Each structure stands twice: as C-alpha cells, then as structure tokens.
C-alpha cells in the first residue's frame, strides 16, 4: 500500500505530506471518521512515511522500517488496542505485566468485558519501554487503534505519557466514535477528520480493492454511506432480495397479518448458527430503517425503485419506534435470549405501533 493507492482523502494526504516535508508533526494525532473509511490504513501509511529511510513523497516499502511496520512487527511501533480488534487483525499486543506480584490488576478483574477494552496493563508496559531509545526508527510511535475503547483506568494511566511524551515519540490514534473517546484523551490530540467516501470513490473501492459486484449495487452503496461494512458486503444477492422484499412489505402494506409477521421472524432466525442469525437480523433492520427514513424524508426514491410505493408515508414516530425495537433486540442478543421469540414479539409490537395489524 502507498499513499497513491489510498482511495479518497486526497486533501488529508496532501496536508500530511506537506507537514512531513516541513517536519511539523504534532506529538499526538487522532484520525477519526465513520466506520470503514480507511482510518487505520491511512494512519499506518503516515507512520511508515515518518520512519522510512528513503522517503520521497511515498514510503519506499523496501527498508526495514517499512517492511516491519507492514507486518505489525516493528520494535519501535507499539500497537495498543482492545483484545477483539487485536484478534481480528492478528496483532500481538504488548505483554500485560499485571500487578507487582504477577497477579492481574484488581480493577481489570472487575471489568465486565476486558477483551473489548484497552487495559491498564498495556499502558503500564508502555511506560516501561517508552523512555528507551528507538531501536531502528527515527520516531518511536504509539499506535492506538479504537481509542474509544480506553477504560477509565487505562485512560487515566495514559495521561502522563500523552501530556509529556519523550521528544522522539509520536502518538497516533484512530477512532470511529470520537465522542466516546475519554475527554481527557480527546482534548489533548490534534484531530484529523476523514470524511465519508463519495459514491464514485466507493464504486472504485468496491471494484478495484474487493472485486464486489451485485444486482443491487446502488442500494448497497446507499446503505454503506461512504464506508465499508463487511456485514452488508458479505450478503449475497438472493438474501438481499429477500430482506428488501420483507422490508418493503412492512413499510408499504396497509395491514400486516400475524401470519406474515411470524413468517418474517422465522426467515430471520431459521439458521442454527447464532452468528448467522444475528447477521440476518442486522441486515434486515438496517434496510428497514434506511428505507423508512428515506420515505419520511422524501429522498432516494430513484435508488429504492419498486421498493417504495407511490403513496407510502412514514412519520418520525415510526422511526423512533423502530430505533427502540433495534436497541431492544441488540440488548437481548447480548443477554443470549431466545432470538426467535424476541423477533416475533418485537415485530408484532412494532406493527401494532405502526397501526398495521
């Protein structure tokens, strides 16, 4: 990967290149924007660029620094993130040291989901090595992926490093949820916003990078909203048609029978695999909400085509009721409730709220 191969974000890249040439680098930078727009990719290229031994508007990709950063194995680039993200990217996190007696930190033990958080033990390990000289690179880089997953303890522990890092250290963070990053962290960084990709850039990205094609490309692009969403992109055309037909029936039909609701619930939960059921439920409700919102706002009729009837209307309260349903289903999934019963009851309740029963 090179800067020239990154699709979109031209102004941000030009600004970064200018600052690299002029050696005007802030000690803490936060790349933020919606999911799937390339924040981590761009941040990684920036880290390569500031450490490349033969940089000429692009990282050379040949020196040890470029190679090791590409492989997430550079001794001077310390990657910090939550356990789930580390597993998905096949990243080996810095070693957790635990407390002085070798036991896990008590504060971390009480955490409800340590794998979803950046832990204080990662920060403690960081503090042990950050004041040593870099082994190979010009800059020691602390690369924090998903900065919104700092917990209270790890955020507080990181403050000293963030406020007074060694002179040869640069902190690079990414987040898809800037408002969820602890304010003590957020307020001490330079913000670099990455905008959603244009439809033209998205089409290029889908065709060139992931070879995606679909009969419903325009609808898929509309659902993606300028960023990659692997759940949507992994759904085949046959399933998309099924979800689109079901969503259209819900918003366009004057009345919905109980039998139709039960059939829809059975369709969404018919898989024996829990992950597959959750994916089907997610895709259906994503389509349903976007379709309902567009009907309410009177937009995108050309994209939805036959899936919006001419006289169909939707109130804001309909969208609020749908949001409540989606939140309830998500919470129920986290509690491992019976998905079939939940979907049936919630679709029945939603249809009653919409006066469709």
Q: What is the pLDDT of residues 250-274, one digit of tens each?
A: 898 878 888 889 999 999 998 889 8
Query: 58 with 68: CB under 8 angstroms?
Result: no
CA separation, residue 3 to residues 8, 18, 54, 55 (Å): 10, 13, 15, 12
Q: How far is the C-alpha of 135 from the C-alpha of 32, rounded, in Å? A: 29
Lowest mean pLDDT among 24-33, 34-43, 202-211: 202-211
- Residue 54: what are its φ and ψ, rounded to 5°? -140, 50
β partners of residue 77: 141
Six token digits for residue 101: 């007696």
E strands in 194-298: none
Using one digit for the tens of pLDDT, what is the confidence trace for 88-114?
888 877 655 444 344 444 444 344 455
Using pLDDT thresholds of 50, 70 and 90, give the confidence band for residue 357. Answer: low
Whole-model pTM: value is 0.86
Query: How high is the pLDDT of residue 221?
Result: 95
Rg (CA), the chain: 24
The better pLDDT of the pair 105, 38 is held by 38
What integer is the mean pLDDT of 201-225? 92
Query: How high is the pLDDT of residue 99?
Result: 42
Inform me whether the pLDDT recorded for 14 exceeds 70: yes
The better pLDDT of the pair 271, 196 is held by 196
Query: How high is the pLDDT of residue 106?
Result: 41
Could you tell me the domains of the chain? 3-193 (3.40.50.300), 235-353 (no CATH)
Q: How far is the C-alpha of 168 from the C-alpha of 172, rounded, in Å? A: 13
Using pLDDT thresholds of 50, 70 and 90, give the confidence band for residue 354. Answer: confident
Query: How high is the pLDDT of residue 230?
Result: 92
Using one digit for the tens of pLDDT, what is the confidence trace for 127-171?
888 888 889 999 999 999 999 999 999 999 999 999 999 888 999
What integer is the mean pLDDT of 22-33? 95
Q: What is the mean pLDDT of the chain?
A: 90
Lowest mean pLDDT among 66-75, 111-120, 239-248, 322-331: 111-120
Query: 149 with 93: CB under 8 angstroms?
Result: no
């Amino acid at each position: 990967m090179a800067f020239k191969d990154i699709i979109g974000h031209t102004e941000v890249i030009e600004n970064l290149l200018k600052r690299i040439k002029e050696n005007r680098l802030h000690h803490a930078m936060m790349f933020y924007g919606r999911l799937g727009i390339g924040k981590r990719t761009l941040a990684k290229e920036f880290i390569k660029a500031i450490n490349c031994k033969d940089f000429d508007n692009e990282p050379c990709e040949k020196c040890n620094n470029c190679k090791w950063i590409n492989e997430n194995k550079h001794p001077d680039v310390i990657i910090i993130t939550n356990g789930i993200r580390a597993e998905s990217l096949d990243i080996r996190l810095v070693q957790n040291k635990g407390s002085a007696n070798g036991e896990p930190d008590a504060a971390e033990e009480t955490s409800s989901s340590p794998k979803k958080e950046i832990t204080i033990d990662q920060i403690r390990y960081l503090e042990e090595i950050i004041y040593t000289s870099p082994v190979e690179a010009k800059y020691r880089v602390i690369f924090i992926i998903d900065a919104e997953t700092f917990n209270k303890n790890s955020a507080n522990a990181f403050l000293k490093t963030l406020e007074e890092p060694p002179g040869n250290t640069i902190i690079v963070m990414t987040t898809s949820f800037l408002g969820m990053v602890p304010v003590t962290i957020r307020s001490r960084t330079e913000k670099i916003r990455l905008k959603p990709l244009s439809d033209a850039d998205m089409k290029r990205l889908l065709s060139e990078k992931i070879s995606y094609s679909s009969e419903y490309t325009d609808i898929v692009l509309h659902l993606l909203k300028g960023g990659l969403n692997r759940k949507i992109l992994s759904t085949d055309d046959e399933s998309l048609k099924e979800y689109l037909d079901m969503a259209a029936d819900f918003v366009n039909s004057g009345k919905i029978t109980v039998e139709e609701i039960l059939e829809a619930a059975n369709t969404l939960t018919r898989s024996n695999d829990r992950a597959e059921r959750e994916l089907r439920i997610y895709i259906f409700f994503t389509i349903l909400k976007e379709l309902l919102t567009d009907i309410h706002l009177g937009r995108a009729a050309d994209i939805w085509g036959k899936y919006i009837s001419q006289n169909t209307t939707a109130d804001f309260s309909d969208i609020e009721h749908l949001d409540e349903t989606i939140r309830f289903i998500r919470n129920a999934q986290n509690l491992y409730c019976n998905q079939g019963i939940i979907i049936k009851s919630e679709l029945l309740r939603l249809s009653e709220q919409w006066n469709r029963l």
